Amino acid sequence: MTVVEWKKEETVAVITMTHGENRHNPVFVEAILKVFDEIEQDPSVTSVVITSNDPKNWSQGIDLTWIMSAYGEKRLQEIKDFMYGLNRMFKRILLIPMPVIAAINGHAFGDGAIMACCCDFRFMRADRGFFCFPEIDISIPFLPGMLAIVKKAFPYYKLEEAAFSGKRYGGAELEAHHVVVKACADSEALLAESIAFGKTFNKKRTIYGEMKKRFHKEIIRTIDTEDAAFIEPLALMM
C-alpha cells in the first residue's frame, strides 16, 4: 500500500500523502524518510511542498489504533522504535537543505500539526480544515522535542492558548497570527500558491542547510538529549 508519493513541478518536489487520515505509524515514517532521501538526491529540486490527496485531512497525527494495539500486545520495543523514528522524521524535515512548505489542505491534528510545524512555511485553506493540538484532551503531553518544534512555528502567547485549550484553528486565524503564510481560498488555490511560493526559492543547498542547522540547533539538542527520558519508560500518556 502506497502511503506517500512525490513528483516534480519544475524545481519543486511535491510530496502527496495518500492514505486518508495520513496517520503516523512505522510504515508512514519509513515512507516519508525514503521520499526525502530520494528528493535530496535530485540536484534540480530547490524546495519541497507537502500536501494530501484526501479532501478532508492533511494528517490526523499518530495512528492511535496501531499504538494501542501494540501496547496491548506488549510490543513495547516496537513503540519505542516508532517514537525514535518520529524524531528522525521531524529532524529530516527540519534539516533538509531546502525550504519545506506545508500545504495544509485539511485537518492537521496532534502529531500531524507538529509535523506541519517542522516545515519552514505553512499555507492553509481558508474554507475548511482545522489545525489543533488535542494533547491536553487526550492525556498525551508533548515530548520535550515536540514542544521545541511547535515553539518555532507559533508565537508564544498563541501556543499557550493552543496547547492548554486544545482549540481548533482555521486558516484565517492562523494567518493573522503568522503561523501560516496565507489562508488560501480553496484546495486548488492552496496547492497552486504553495508551489508558486516554492518556485521563488533557488538557494544554494550548502548555505540553506547550514542556516537550518544553526536555527534549529536547540530543537535538535532537545530531541537528542531529552526525549529518551520519556520514551524509554513509555511515559507518553497521563
Kindly state the cell numbers that stand for 4: 506517500
What is the pTM for the complete model shown?
Answer: 0.97
Q: Is residue 57 within 8 Å of 21, Cβ to Cβ?
A: yes
Residue 25's nearest CA partner among 61, 51, 58 is: 61
Domains and CATH numbers, the chain: 4-199 (3.90.226.10)
42-52 burial, b at 16+ Cβ within 10 Å, e below that, comes to eeebbbbbbbb
Closest of 217, 221, 211, 133 to residue 174, by C-alpha:
133
Contacts with 170 (C-beta within 8 Å, 6 or more apart), sequence order:
124, 126, 129, 130, 131, 183
Provide φ and ψ at 9, rounded to 5°: -115, 90
Residue that is written with C-alpha cell 518536489 in the block: 13
Hunting for cell 536547540 — which residue is that?
218
Q: What are phi and psi of 123, to 5 degrees?
A: -120, 150
Tens-of-pLDDT digits for all 238 residues of the chain? Answer: 799 999 999 999 999 999 999 999 999 999 999 999 999 999 999 999 999 999 999 999 999 999 999 999 999 999 999 999 999 999 999 999 999 999 999 999 999 999 999 999 999 999 999 999 999 999 999 999 999 999 999 999 999 999 999 999 999 999 999 999 999 999 999 999 999 999 999 999 999 999 999 999 999 999 999 999 999 999 776 5
